[in-house]
Amino acid sequence: MNKTFERSFYSKTSMYSFIVTIVLLFSVWIATDQFLHMDMALLGYLVSSLIFAIGLTIRMCAWVIRPATHQVIKRSFKNLKNKDRIKRNMTSIIKTGFENIFLQKFIFKRGIYRGIQHFMIAWGCIGSFAFTFSLTFGWLRFDLIDADTYQVVAFNIPTMTMYAHGLIAELMYNALNFFALMVLVGASMALARRVVNKDVRVTQRFEFDILPLLILLLVTVSGLVLTVSYAFLDGFMHHYLTLFHQVTVVIMLVFFPFGKLYHVPIRPLAAGVPMNYQEELEVDTRACKKCGDTYSSDDQITDVKEILAVQQFDLQLEDGTYLSDYCPACRRRIRVMKQMNLEPAAFGKVDPVQTNNGVHMSGFGKKRSDDYYNLPEHVKEQLNKYRASGGDE
């Protein structure tokens, strides 16, 4: 990016927001044939969509500069450029995209009910946004050729024609209604779960968990009522219902980048995690420096070290190694040893930890021998008889 141009803005975030806005307006200019085919009824939605794009850019910039996110993105680009990993990368991306994005399997693992509600909300929102933004920005429009024929125009390029009262036309007319029904069902299921389930109610927050669902319900219900008005009630209160629906959509678009709904556009980026860290561990996995067991991939350990270094967490040990060089079990043992000011020589693999005040701790899941307790001989004999008779220790 030209430094002179960059210095014209207060920050990189403001520069990116300006670029996104200009690109969107230019796409509108192209798609509507230099604003000739602008639908003025959608002008309010267009302005709120531009505000939504600016907010999403601001939130995305704040998210990307976080040390963990920045490191994962940097690692993803590095691995994508690696010619030796092309097959692995493509396989991982396709598999993750199909299972976690399309099928939402990661949610179905938590329960059928939660899986269905999340699937309905996710694909209802994705479909609604795709169709709404296409119409709002003029990327998609329908030109009337004659009394019975429409032509679909995409980015000012004429494409297919369709019969005005045919099946394809009816599907396009009611696409938003179909996606709205999906969101209505999913959001209602989610709201019912959060109201009824006591375990969920303990940890939820109104502004983070309940408010997004209420906003989605307002948008979908007002949109469906609008359809009922012109389809079955001869346009009863259609003007007022249109204004109310537009207000709910504006509120949702402004709220979207800064609430829980923000995870919808960034969820596909999660495909980089299994691509980078969770494949062919038998090739890329590093062994623990203490016990020798494999526990994580080389890339993940390296990235953890860099993330902690950026955040100024010094987890380097006296021998020059880091806590991330050890498996979780050995890491816990090291941490306990440090808390009790014990020397590394006391770091046995099986033996119990003996503290300075004489209070002993178990060997982290390892069974202690009877000799450790210095029991009298008559007590050992009684204990052996008790065990021989089938009693517990």
- Model confidence over 334-351: pLDDT tens digits? 888 777 766 554 444 445
Residue environment code for 51-89, b if the CB has 16+ CB neighbours within 10 A, otherwise e: ebbbbbbbbbbeeeeeeebebbeebbeebeeeeebeebb
Which residues is 150 bridged to in the sheet? 144, 162
- pLDDT at residue number 316: 79
> Does 315 share its domain with 255?
no
Among 273, 308, 330, residue at a domain's last position: 273
The tokens for 154 are 């995409």
Considering its fold, how many domains does the chain have in total? 2
Q: State whether 108 and 8 are in the same domain.
A: yes
Q: Which residue, among 243, 247, 180, has the nearest Cα to 217 in the 3D structure?
A: 180
User: Does residue 148 lie in a domain region?
Assistant: no
In a domain, 146, yes or no: no
- For residue 174, pLDDT over 70 is answered with yes
Res. 372: pLDDT tops 60: no
> Rounded CA gap, 276 and 80, in Å?
9
More confident residue, 370 or 14: 14
More confident residue, 226 or 286: 226
My answer on whether 42 and 9 are in the same domain is yes
> Which is nearest to 156 in space by CA: 254, 253, 245, 29?
29
Please tell me whether residues 293 and 242 are part of one structural domain. no
pLDDT digits (tens, 9 = 90+) for 214-270: 999 999 999 999 999 988 888 888 888 989 999 999 999 989 998 888 888 888 777
DSSP class of residue 90? H
C-beta neighbour count of 4 within 10 angstroms = 7
Q: Is residue 49 part of a domain?
A: yes
Higher pLDDT, 68 or 280: 68
Does a structural domain hold residue 78?
A: yes
- Largest Cα separation within the chain, whole Å, is 106
Q: What is the pTM of this model?
A: 0.74
pLDDT at residue number 188: 95
- Residues 202 and 329 reside in one and the same domain: no
The span from the CA of 334 to the CA of 348, in Å, is: 10
Query: If you average pLDDT over every residue of the chain, what do you get?
Result: 83
Tell me the C-alpha distance between 370 and 243, whole Å.
80
Per DSSP, 36 falls in state T
Pair 318, 260 in one domain? no
Percent of the chain with pLDDT over 90: 27
Same domain for 263 and 311, yes or no, is no
pLDDT confidence tier of residue 370, bands split at 50, 70 and 90: low
How much is the pLDDT for 365?
Answer: 43
307 and 258: one domain? no
Q: What percent of the chain has pLDDT over 70?
A: 86
End-of-domain residue from the set 212, 243, 273? 273
Same domain, 365 and 297: yes
What is the domain extent for residue 334?
Answer: 288-388
Q: What is the pLDDT of residues 119-143, one digit of tens each?
A: 999 999 999 999 999 999 999 998 8
Q: Residue range 272-281: average pLDDT?
A: 71
Measured CA to CA, the distance from residue 80 to residue 73 in angstroms comes to 11
Same domain, 265 and 292: no
Q: Verify that 208 and 295 share a domain, yes or no.
A: no
Based on the fold, state whether residues 253 and 292 are members of the same structural domain: no
- Residue 375 pLDDT level (bands cut at 50, 70, 90): low
Average pLDDT value for residue range 147-155? 89
- Is 315 among the domain residues? yes
Instruction: Please measure the distance between the N-terminal and C-terminal CA atoms of the chain and give it in whole angstroms.
Output: 71
Assigned domain for 52 exists: yes
* Position 359 in a domain: yes
More confident site: 127 or 300: 127
Q: Residue 135: inside a domain, yes or no?
A: no
Q: How confident is the model at residue 9 (pLDDT cuts 50, 70, 90)?
A: confident
Residue 334 sits at φ, ψ, to 5 deg, of -60, -40
CB atoms within 10 A of CB 220: 28
Give kind and range of the element (H or E) at residue 141.
strand 140-146
Last residue of a domain, one of 240, 273, 306: 273
- pLDDT at position 350, please? 45
Number of H helices, E strands in the chain: 18, 7
Please state, in angstroms and rounded to a whole number, the distance separating the CA atoms of residues 269 and 72: 10
- pLDDT (mean) for 31-44: 88
118 pLDDT higher than 50 = yes
